[in-house]
């Protein structure tokens, strides 16, 4: 949510900042702006709406200078308008950008108002700008001023600050909101919320830790920790080519990422299975010792990652025979949690910066056996603060509606289940069967993508609908949940999901000719029960759209559209059946003319509560 880009360079940086904002558009935002020191004063330009509006304004009013900060805002405090857009300034000599939420901004603002400070916005962020200016007036240097202010703030924040009093310095700080330092190739350095924002200028990055304050000049990078001590962090190279962030031949990032899934699943498995066995060292050097002691798993996640966790619960209790509990992080962190001895906390997050998941980890880490993170970003907070991690290796996911992140999470979770299962009665022969199925998964996913044209045709039946119902049983129930989430995210159709056996307990009252019912129905042990549920829908005049196993056990007829999905090992059905639902949501959204990659009101990385 929101996006920060900052630069200190010997060359003009307005175009670098603008390109950085464009690369952060996927995060979700409602306004954009930048401020630069031009050698005499700080100039600021802001616009409500898309980054293109800011670009158009820059064509008319250039902002020269080699020191600047830029921002895309997702409204939390105050309306999404130009007045509340970042950067925020204190007088004419200080500009600040902020991601996150300052929980105690109201008493701090009251204190500043009592001192005669005038505010020009409704945001919590402007409070921080005036606090830094107050510290500068007291005689502190810019870095020291930011350190003094950070100590006053409660909540989550990433900050980028420039001042006319320090025309060669960019200061950054982070607590609870991601921020990276981009190490320039000579004569320049950068900050950003995401590495993607800076790939046009560098592929070397330094990840700031919780409580860090950094001072950047054209030639130096210095970092102080929360205790005020000078620290050094490793510089790492970005692992994916910049082309990973381009749409290529596809109309939307989401469609590109759907089609990348056969390849990225192979990347998730690479180096982790061999000879029909899981290579357990992929989890880390201490993994085996920790896994030996696990007696229960507690999964915590949000959104799509929560759905992945629900599927993992079925797998864990089936193959490993150990209890598994799954909870939404925003609920888990605010209740009294009982965690029996031997509990492994398993967190799942695409970005590794999801605020509620991070808070849950920090809350219970001292009370669990160990913490394992399933994540797509190696340098993220979740990975750094967990005992073990398994990277999904999905590459950058730009579309707000998660696709390849979800399926690679499922693959990584299956590997985790195998690691725990072999300690709790999973036979080597069964493990080998599952590994072989994983090795063949990419081919099955490619076959599922060949359904695209038929699914596009099916999508036309949804174009004028306002509601939809998704049904599944067993491990396919969370897949139905994910399908409903995708449809509502990008097409704005109200969609609900239910276990098919719950139809008679309420949802059946909604079924009529205007309520399409989407069902995932592989040919497994639950099929006969599911078919009975489908008859209940047809008896009420409901229109059925069924993704069925290749056996055609569900017959197409008037009011029942059936598409056959390739057969696969039953345990991996959740991965395979997810792709048709993604394609259905995508094509419905295209027909409705919505913003597929940046759906309204949503952000990619939810770094605030």
The catalytic site residues sit at 2, 604
Structure tokens at 492: 């704005």
Whole-angstrom distance, CA of residue 4 vs CA of residue 347 = 26
Q: Report how far residue 1's alpha carbon sits from residue 122's, in angstroms, rounded to the nearest whole number.
A: 18
C-alpha span between 230 and 561 (Å, rounded): 65
Enter the DSSP assignment of 283. G
Quick one: residue 116, left, alpha or beta (phi over 0 = left, psi -120 to 50 = alpha)?
Answer: left
Burial of 80 (0-12, 13-18, 19+ CB in 10 A): middle
Residues 335-339: contacts with CB under 8 Å, at least 24 apart: 337/298, 337/364, 339/298, 339/364, 339/367, 339/368
Q: Nearest 5 degrees, angle CA 477-CA 383-CA 442?
A: 50
Cα separation, 345 vs 334, whole angstroms? 16
As a dihedral over the C-alpha atoms of residue 223, residue 229, residue 234, residue 240, rounded to 10 degrees, the angle is: -50
Cβ within 8 Å of residue 163, ≥6 positions away? 93, 94, 95, 132, 136, 142, 169
Distances (CA, A) of 557 to 393, 412, 453, 456, 533: 42, 39, 20, 19, 16
Tell me which H or E stretch contains 370.
strand 370-375
Retrieve residue 199's tokens: 């790939």
**Beta-carbon neighbour count of residue 40 at 10 Å?**
10
Q: What SS3 class is residue 353?
A: coil
Closest CA to 348 of 314, 306, 297, 378: 306
Burial 404-433 (b: 16+ CB within 10 A, else e): bbbbbbbbbbbbbbbbbbbeeebeeeebee
């Amino acid at each position: 949510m929101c996006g920060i880009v900052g630069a200190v360079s010997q060359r003009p940086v307005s175009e670098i900042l603008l390109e950085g904002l464009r690369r952060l558009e996927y995060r979700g935002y409602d306004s954009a702006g930048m401020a630069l020191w031009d050698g005499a004063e700080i100039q600021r330009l802001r616009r409500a709406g898309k980054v293109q509006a800011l670009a158009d304004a820059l064509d008319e009013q250039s902002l020269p200078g080699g020191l600047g900060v830029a921002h895309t805002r997702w409204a939390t405090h105050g309306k999404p308008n130009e007045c509340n857009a970042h950067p925020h300034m204190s007088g004419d000599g200080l500009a600040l950008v902020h991601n996150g939420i300052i929980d105690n901004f109201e008493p701090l603002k009251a204190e500043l108002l009592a001192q005669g400070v005038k505010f020009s916005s409704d945001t919590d962020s402007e409070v921080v700008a005036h606090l830094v200016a107050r510290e500068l007036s007291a005689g502190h240097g810019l870095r020291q001023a930011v350190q003094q202010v950070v100590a006053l703030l409660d909540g989550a924040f990433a900050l980028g600050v420039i001042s006319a009093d320090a025309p060669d310095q960019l200061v950054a700080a982070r607590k609870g909101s991601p921020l990276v330092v981009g190490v320039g190739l000579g004569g320049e350095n950068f900050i950003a919320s995401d590495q993607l924002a800076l790939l046009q200028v560098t592929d070397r990055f330094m990840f700031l830790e919780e409580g860090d304050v950094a001072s950047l000049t054209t030639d130096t990078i210095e970092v102080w920790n929360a205790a005020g001590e000078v620290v050094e962090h490793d510089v790492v190279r970005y692992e994916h080519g910049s082309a990973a962030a381009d749409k290529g031949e596809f109309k939307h990032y989401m469609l590109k990422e759907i089609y990348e899934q056969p390849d990225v699943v192979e990347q998730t498995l690479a180096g982790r299975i061999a000879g029909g066995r899981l290579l357990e060292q992929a989890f880390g050097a201490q993994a085996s010792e920790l896994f030996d002691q696990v007696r229960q798993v507690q999964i915590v996640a949000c959104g799509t990652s929560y759905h992945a966790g629900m599927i993992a619960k079925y797998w864990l209790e089936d193959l490993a025979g150990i209890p598994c509990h799954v909870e939404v992080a925003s609920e888990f962190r605010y209740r009294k949690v009982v965690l029996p001895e031997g509990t492994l906390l398993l967190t799942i997050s695409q970005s590794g910066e999801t605020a509620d998941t991070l808070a849950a980890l920090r809350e219970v880490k001292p009370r669990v056996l160990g913490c394992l993170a399933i994540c797509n970003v190696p340098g993220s907070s979740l990975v750094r603060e967990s005992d073990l991690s398994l990277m999904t290796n999905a590459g950058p996911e730009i579309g707000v509606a998660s696709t390849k992140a979800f399926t690679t999470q499922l693959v990584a979770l299956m590997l985790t289940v195998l690691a725990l299962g072999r300690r709790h009665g999973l036979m080597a022969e069964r493990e080998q069967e599952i590994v072989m199925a994983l090795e063949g998964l990419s081919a099955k996913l490619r076959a599922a993508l060949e359904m695209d044209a038929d699914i596009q045709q099916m999508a036309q039946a949804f174009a004028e609908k306002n509601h939809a119902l998704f049904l599944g049983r067993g491990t396919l129930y969370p897949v139905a949940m994910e399908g409903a989430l995708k449809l509502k995210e990008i097409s704005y159709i109200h969609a609900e999901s239910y276990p098919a056996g719950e139809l008679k307990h309420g949802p059946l009252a909604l079924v009529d000719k205007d309520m399409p019912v989407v069902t995932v129905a592989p040919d497994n042990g639950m099929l006969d029960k599911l078919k009975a549920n489908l008859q209940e829908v047809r008896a009420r005049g409901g229109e059925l759209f069924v993704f069925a196993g290749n056996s055609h056990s569900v017959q197409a007829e008037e009011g029942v559209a059936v598409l056959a999905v390739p057969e696969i090992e039953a345990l991996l059905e959740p991965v395979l059946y997810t792709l048709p639902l993604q394609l259905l949501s995508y094509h419905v959204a295209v027909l409705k003319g919505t913003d597929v990659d940046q759906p309204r009101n949503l952000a990619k990385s939810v770094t605030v509560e």
